[in-house]
Amino acid sequence: MKKFFVLTVLFALPIVAYLFFASGKNNFARLPILTEDVSEISGLTTYKDEPVFLEDHISVVAFFGEKIEDLKGNTFNLDKKILEKYYAFDDFQFVIILPENAKASAADFIKEFEGITNAQEWKFVFGSPEQIQEVFNSFSSPYQLSEDSYSPYVFIVDKSRNLRGRDDDDEGSLYGYDSRDIAELTNKMNDDVKVILAEYRLALKKNNAERKNN
């Protein structure tokens, strides 16, 4: 019975993994690069004074401003519809960029939400309005940052600090995903996160195969 169970698992896992990644609209195509060389964020501060890097990570980046109510709603939507599916993937991170004067309220928010979300997995970084605006501008998106450093749109940044998105969306290019829109998160963003993770997994598999052959 044990042998049968092991054989079943070994046979089923590759199929499940294939169906998981193949379900994306773009399948195994690369998710388009919309902006290159997004600004690094290692110069911004964190709670533990440990720098957070976009380089060498697949990042979902958010600019959620000073208003804690926006932070609650948007992060909860993201966590439940997107992020909790992918925290286990190597080098995947969720980065929330906030003004320095939001440190205390964000810390209270983390404590409040730890029991119902994966708040411990989120990486908070803080900067001046000018620093945050500079990072936001480097995305070269059509969106605007509010006076309190808020945008409802979240972004996918690859390991080389390229902004990824869609260049063939219904209304043109899709630079970011509206965290207030459950349908957009569930369909478009979830689809695109699958694609970029599959892209890197396939690249890693190819590199490992090449090393074995050399």
* Domain boundary assignment for the chain: 30-199
Share of the chain above pLDDT 90, in %: 61
Specify the 3-state DSSP secondary structure of 208. helix
What class does CATH assign to 30-199? alpha beta
pLDDT of residue 12: 53
Name the nearest CA neighbour of 38 among 173, 135, 165. 135
Most confident of the ranges 27-41, 72-86, 141-155, 189-203: 141-155
pLDDT of residue 67: 85
Residue of 211 and 46 predicted with greater confidence: 46
pLDDT of residue 22: 45
Q: b/e for 46-55, b at 16 or more Cβ within 10 A? A: eeeeeebebe
Is pLDDT at 131 greater than 60 in this prediction? yes
Is pLDDT at 106 greater than 80 in this prediction? yes
pLDDT of residue 25: 44
pLDDT of residue 71: 81
Is pLDDT at 103 greater than 50 in this prediction? yes
pLDDT of residue 116: 83
Name the nearest CA neighbour of 163 among 187, 143, 149. 143
Amino acid 78 reads L
Q: pTM for the complete prediction?
A: 0.82
Determine contact, residues 155/60, Cβ cutoff 8 Å.
yes
Determine contact, residues 105/72, Cβ cutoff 8 Å.
no
pLDDT of residue 114: 81
Compute the distance between CA of residue 48 and CA of residue 27 in angstroms, rounded to an integer. 38
Angle made by CA atoms 199, 204, 208, in degrees to the nearest 5:
150
pLDDT of residue 138: 98
Compute the distance between CA of residue 104 and CA of residue 190 in angstroms, rounded to an integer. 31
Q: b/e for 169-200, b at 16 or more Cβ within 10 A? A: eeeeebbbbbbebeebbeebbbebbbbbbbbb
Angle made by CA atoms 175, 176, 181, in degrees to the nearest 5:
140
Region 170-177: what's the mean pLDDT?
Answer: 93
pLDDT of residue 19: 43
pLDDT of residue 62: 97
Give residues with Cβ within 8 angstroms of 103, minimum separation 6: 47, 126
Determine contact, residues 155/163, Cβ cutoff 8 Å.
yes
pLDDT confidence bin for 5, thresholds 50/70/90: low
